[in-house]
Structure formats: structure tokens, C-alpha cells
Amino acid sequence: MRKFRFGFNSRQQEIDRWMQVCRSAEEAGYDAVQVPDHLGAASPFALLAAAAAATSRVRLGTLVLNNEFWNPALLAREAATVDRISGGRLELGLGAGHMKSEFEAAGIPWRSHAERLERLERSIGELDRLFAEDGQEPLPHQVPRPPLLIGANGDAGLALAARHADIVGFAGLTQIKGRRMGTFRVDDLDEARRRVDFVRAKAGQRADALEFNMLAQAVVVTDDAEKSAAELVEGYSETGLDTVRKVLDCPYVLVGTAEEIAAKLVGNREELGFSYITTHGPFREALGRVIPVVREKVGEQQAGPTG
């Protein structure tokens, strides 16, 4: 069973004090600083370079880059540079992209999901070539390449991750058909089980080597889990989490005392394999209260800079 690791995704509101945020998170016990790739948000590799300068231990990850925004040669240059200046701490997270409005704003063609996945798979192969010993300078510090995280939720994307990823990123979100782009349904426990079982089956002999990352959509530390869950139902009802029980059972929503959340994370690691836990920036401090409880509960130390 893999050791726990904990990360957080950057938030736009903290860009002016980003280096202090990263230092504080490292001191609080986080194992990874992660950044998204959206128009309207800060440059992912600039943020990671700043995080590298501000820290000495935490891993530095993209969660995840929109493959359609990047030419493989230019992406390899950016990734290798951050990996080199950080002493080999980069985790390269890739996805197929899902926000049509961002494609339109950037003047990038909006291709079908199948086409975007095909192009993502081609980019992965090209990156492997560029990162090889006789590839494009600068080469990354990590050999043969930085760990590859692939974020997906549909079967086709998860099958691709099972073939190529070192880390599979489960966000637990599915676009609701017929609704405005960016309106998601949150997977319940049964659906999370199905997706995990699907990846393990598709990975075959690779399954035991995969690390599973889970993006917690909310973390609420409270002495009254049912009351807080009921409040979340009001905002989550359209996502499928329309009862208190569904909220409390959902692996992507963490509600309760630090001890209760820690017990849930330990149980989810045993059942689902979710050992790498990330949350969004607004919940960084809440998850930070849970991290030492989890580590004490399972008798684990913080991960080092190599994971």
C-alpha cells in the first residue's frame, strides 16, 4: 500500500503572496504544491518556478495542463527547466482539456473528446522522445522523465491513463450533458469504486505500480458533520449529492472532525487506493489540520522530495 501524500491546488487570489503560501504549506506538512492550467489564472510553470525557489522539499505538480494549449517541444522545455531548477521535484500532470470557452477565447480549435484524447496520447509519446537521453535540451533532472499524472474521469480517458500514467488523477467530476460547460456531477462512492476497478482492470500488470490521486472538492473540519453536510447539500444538490448521507459517503467531499476525516481517508486508501490527496486552495488550511492526524493514525512520516 502506498504511503499517503498531500497536495493543494493554487488559487488565483493568493498570487501576490504565492511564495509565502508555498513556504507555509511545506512547513504545515504538505508534500506537493500543484497548479491548474486555465485562462484567467496565473501561468502554471511560472508559479512552479516560484514555488521551487521558495521551498526545498515539496513536489511541484501541474493538475493538470490542458494538452491542447501546448506544443510538445515547448512543453518539454518548460517542464525540463522546472525539473532542473527544482532538483528533480516536478510531477507533470496532463489532461485533454474540457472548458470550451477557454478554447474559444484562445482561438484554439475545439475538437471532439475522442480527438483530444488521441492528441494527448500522441503528445505523451512525443514527450517521452524529447525527454530521452538523446532528446531535446535541457533534459529533465529525473530519468527517464518526471512522473506523469493523467487526469481523467470518463472511461476513454481513464483507459489512456491506465496505459501511460505513473499517477492517475481522479477528480470525481463529470460534465452534466445539456448544461452549461463547467456544470458537473460529483461521483458518489459506488461510481468511484467503478472507476477505480475499471482503471485497475485496464492497467493489468501495471496496476500495482500506479499511484491514485484524489482531488477533494471540499474539506470541512467540524464537530457537527451532519449539520455541515446538510449545508453542503444546498449547494451540491444539482451535482447528485442531494442527501446528507451521500455527502458524507462521497470520497471527494471530506466533512467531520479531523479524526473522522482521517479515518475516512484511511478507509478510502484501503478500498479505493486513494493515497495521494489534493484539495483546492480554499480548503488548504482545513486539510492541513487533518494531515498530522492521518500520519499519526497510520504511523507514516512525510514524503521526501523524491516522493
Q: Residue 79 carries which side chain, given as an amino acid letter? A: A
| Confidence grade of residue 60 (pLDDT, cut at 50, 70, 90) | very high
* Cα 182 from chain centre: 17
Q: Are 290 and 219 in contact (CB under 8 A)?
A: yes
Q: Does residue 180 sit in helix, strand or coil? A: coil
Counting residues of the chain whose pLDDT is more than 90, the rounded percentage is 90
- The pLDDT score that the predictor gives to residue 272 is 98
pTM beyond 0.75: the answer is yes
**CA gyration radius, the chain:** 19
pLDDT of residue 175: 83
Report pLDDT digits (tens) over 77-95.
Answer: 999 999 999 999 999 999 9
Quick: pLDDT tens for 181-234. Answer: 778 889 999 999 999 999 999 999 999 999 999 999 999 999 999 999 999 998
Cell numbers standing for residue 222: 467540524
pLDDT tens digit sequence for 94-127: 999 999 999 999 999 999 999 999 999 999 999 9
Residue 256 main-chain phi, psi, to 5 deg: 145, -170
Q: Give the number of residues written for the chain.
A: 307
Give, for 218, the enclosing helix (H) or strand (E). Answer: strand 218-221
Confirm if 247 and 301 have CB atoms less than 8 A apart: no
* Averaged pLDDT for residues 259-265: 98
> What is the average pLDDT across 147-157?
96
Residues 100 and 102: their CA atoms lie apart, in Å, by 5
With beta carbons less than 8 A apart as the criterion, state whether 131 and 139 touch: yes
The helices-and-strands tally (H runs, E runs) of the chain is 11, 13
pLDDT band, very low/low/confident/very high, at 307 (cuts 50, 70, 90): low
